[in-house]
Chains A and B, each alone.
Chain A
């Protein structure tokens, strides 16, 4: 019997890393949006960075879809 420990470890690391990235980006987006809302009418910078974070997070999800669809490979 061969248990693929290496694969198991890779799956675990990949899971934690990618989920962590998505949550980190989205969390930063949420925080900066809240900061910007508090500083209104100032806070344009925070607002822009917040948007960028959401955008990057969306990109991460798109990469996920790309991985799902074998047609793209």
Chain B
């Protein structure tokens, strides 16, 4: 029987913890204790692990995660841009800084089907409002941007991470 204290345990606990709370913390008076019991550890360890993961950025935040759609932000567009590879590292942070952009990522192209390398999730209440905001992004990108389009979601086919309170 191994002691359960060999190197690697911390990483294992972090992975199991992320998995356990990925769909949400339980809505009970002592949620960290309940998660700890499920993982076979104790509340203080769960809290210390979450603190450490927040401190080094592995967890961005812990809190209430709102659903944009339910808050009336119905016209969520995935805006994508074909940005000069030599400029994208400089321009990306400017796009991520817009307050209507919730996520901004660089991803690989797959030409010819997919020429775009910069993704920005744009949230607004109507499609014209999304389009106005995408024009703002486009003008910030200037001549480094060779093309763009907006992909609206038609249907949500699966979204886990949604756990209803009992």
A binds B: no
Q: Which chain B residues have a beta carbon within 8 Å of chain A's beta carbons?
A: none
Q: Which chain A residues have a beta carbon within 8 Å of chain B's beta carbons?
A: none
